[in-house]
Amino acid sequence: MASQRALFSTSKKFKTSQLQILLADSLTIFWGDWLDLRVRIVQIAASGLISPLIYILAFGLGLGSSIKPGSGISGNYNNYLEFILPGMVALSSMTISFGGTTFSICGDRLFTKTFEELLLTPIHPLALHIGKMLAGVVRGLMTSGSVILVAVLLTGNWNFLNPLFLLLVILNCSVFAGLGVIVGLSVRSLESVGLYNNFIIIPMSFLGATFFDPGTLPAALKVVVYLLPLTYASIGLRAVAHLPLSQFPWYSIPILLMIAIALSLWGAYKFAHQQD
C-alpha cells in the first residue's frame, strides 16, 4: 500500500514537472515573437483598426440609420451601431490574430529561412504551437483593444470592459491564432495565404453574426452560421455588452474553448511532422 502511494506521488510530481516544462517552453517561444511585437505595438493596433472603423462608419452610422430597433434588430438596442460594435471587436480580433500569425510563420519559413532552427529546438511540438498561438492572441488583443476603446467612447457602455467580455475576446483570438498557425505551416507561398483569406476569413467576416442576428435567419442558413466559430464570439460579446447576465449564451465559452484545444492538438501534430 505504501509503495502504491509512493508510486502515485511520483507519477503526480512527474506530470506536474512536464506541465511546468511545457509552460516554460511555450513562454520561451512566445517571448521570441514578443521581442519583435513590442516595438510595433502602435503600428499593429492602428493597422487593424482601419477596417472596423470603415465598417462602423459605413454600416453603423450610414446604413444603420435606416435600421430601427424592432425591425431587423431586437428592441434591446437603441440603434444599429450598438448592435454591431461587439461584432466589430470579434471581427478585428479574428482578422489580426489569423493574418498576423500566418504571415509571421510564412515569413520565417519562406523568406528568412529561420524556421528550421525553431524545428530543431528540443521543445515539445505542443509548446511550439502554444507559443506561436500566444503571440497571435497578443496581436489580436492589441487591435481589439483599440476597437473596444472606440466602442466605449461612442456608446459610454463600460460593459465592453467586463471580464466575461474580455474572456470571450481572448478565446476568439486563440481560435483564429491557432488556425493561423496551422495555415502558416501548410502554405507553400504567400499567394496561398490569400486563398485561405478569401475562402475562410472574408466569408466568415460577413456570415459570423457580426452584422445580423442569426436568430432571424431561416433554419437552413442557421446551420451554416452556427458552424462558424466567429458566430459564438459575436453573439456572446453582444450579450455581455447589452443584455442581462441571465440571457448570456453560456454555451459559447465551451464551444470556443473546445475549438481552440482541437486546433492546438492539430497544430502540435503539424509541428511534429513539419519538414522545411
pLDDT over 70 (residue 73) = no
How far lies 114's CA from each of 123, 132, 163, 242, 268, in Å?
Answer: 16, 14, 38, 46, 19
The residue written with cell numbers 503526480 in the block is 12
Q: Do 209 and 130 form a contact (C-beta atoms < 8 A)? A: no
Across 6-40, b (16+ Cβ under 10 Å) vs e yields eeeeeeeeeeeeeeeeeeebbeebbeebeeebeee
pLDDT tens for 158-215 read 889 999 999 999 999 999 999 999 999 988 887 788 888 888 898 898 888 888 888 8
Query: How confident is the prediction for the chain on average, in pLDDT?
Result: 84
pLDDT tens for 210-248 read 888 888 888 888 899 999 999 999 999 999 988 888 889
- How far, in Å, CA of 257 to CA of 214, rounded? 21
- Banded pLDDT at 250 (limits 50, 70, 90): very high
- Banded pLDDT at 65 (limits 50, 70, 90): low
- Banded pLDDT at 5 (limits 50, 70, 90): low
- Beta-carbon contacts of residue 180 (< 8 Å; ≥ 6 apart): 97, 98, 99, 100, 101, 102, 105, 136
- Banded pLDDT at 13 (limits 50, 70, 90): low
| Confidence (pTM) | 0.88
Average pLDDT over residues 102-118: 80
- Banded pLDDT at 8 (limits 50, 70, 90): very low
Query: Amino acid identity of 12?
Result: K
- How far, in Å, CA of 50 to CA of 230, rounded? 19
Nine cell digits for residue 262: 482541437
pLDDT tens for 19-62 read 888 888 888 888 888 888 888 888 777 777 788 888 888 776 76
Helix (H) or strand (E) holding 123: none
What is the length of the chain? 276
Residue ranges per structural domain of the chain: 27-272
In 3-state terms, the chain is what percent helix, strand and coil (to 5)? 80, 0, 15
pLDDT tens for 138-157 read 999 988 988 899 889 888 88
Higher-scoring residue by pLDDT: 126, 9: 126
Nine cell digits for residue 256: 470556443
Task: Give percent of the chain with pLDDT exceeding 90.
Answer: 32
